[in-house]
Amino acid sequence: MIVLYEYFLYNIVYNQGISKIKTTKLPRKYYSLLFGVMMGFIMSVLTSLAVTIVNIGIIPNFLQKWFDIFLTTFAIGFLITIAVTPFVRNIADRITLSETSDTL
């Protein structure tokens, strides 16, 4: 942990800012998969939490029940997000102006 702290401190002090720290990024070909994982996770956490609270309320074993529901919704949500994202992006691209177009 100290080594990581020293690395960041060294890069901030000697490279004049945190924006100069080298980071490893994933190749662009993994964009859809990463987007699906992140979107599926966020949607599953929020929807399963809301539905669990509405259906069973806050009970003594709430976290265990919620986690069981979350696992199911994440498995479904991830697959749906991966399958639907390209179509939704295509539709959104068709009904919006590009940044370079100047006509309405």
Q: What are the structural domain ranges in the chain?
A: 24-95
Spatial distance between the Cα atoms of 86 and 25, rounded to a whole number of angstroms? 22
pLDDT single digits (tens) 8-64: 556 655 655 555 556 778 888 888 888 888 888 999 999 999 999 999 999 999 999
Residue 70 in this model has a pLDDT that exceeds 80? yes
Q: Within a 10 A sphere around the Cβ of 40, how many other Cβ atoms? A: 21
SS3 at position 7: helix
Instruction: Give the pLDDT score at 19.
Output: 58
- Kindly report whether the global pTM for this prediction surpasses the value 0.75: no
